[in-house]
Amino acid sequence: MKIRKELIDGYLRLLTMGRAANAADPMSETGKMDADIRTMRRRALNEGNLDWLRLSMEALINDPQGRISQFSGHRYPYDEAELVTLFRRAYGMIWPDQPLAEPGDEADLEFVEMSAEEWDAFTGA
C-alpha cells in the first residue's frame, strides 16, 4: 500500500528534529524525547492520522533496512538502529496496549512522494 511520505515525515520530524534532538548525543537520554513524542501523538490525533502513523511506525520498526533512514531528520546523524530504538519508544508510549505486529506481519507500506490532494483522493478523504 502506498502512503504519503511527507505526511509521515511531518510527524516523525517532531521526534528526530524536536527539542531533544538538539543535544550533543540525543540517544544518551531518550527520555528527554517524551515531550516530543506526546506532541507527535497529539498532532496526529488532531489531524485524524493516528492510525496512519501507527501503521507507518510499525512498518519502519519491523522492516527498517534501506527505508527508515529517509525519516532521520537533519540535526543528528541517527543510524538505522537508533531510529528503530526511538520509534519503538514512541510506539510504546503512544500505543501502550497495542503490541507491535510480528516482523513480516506489518502492513506492506511504500512511502511515496505525493501531494496532499493526491493523498486525499487516494484515501477518499
The CA angle 91-63-122, to the nearest 5 degrees, is 80
- pLDDT, one tens digit per residue, over 66-90 is 899 999 988 788 999 999 999 999 9
Grid cell in block for residue 50 = 493516528
Gap between the Cα atoms of 11 and 49, Å rounded: 10
Helix%, strand%, coil% for the chain, nearest 5: 60, 5, 35
The structure's pTM equals 0.93
- pLDDT, one tens digit per residue, over 8-55 is 999 999 999 988 888 888 888 888 899 999 999 999 999 999 999 999
Gap between the Cα atoms of 90 and 16, Å rounded: 11
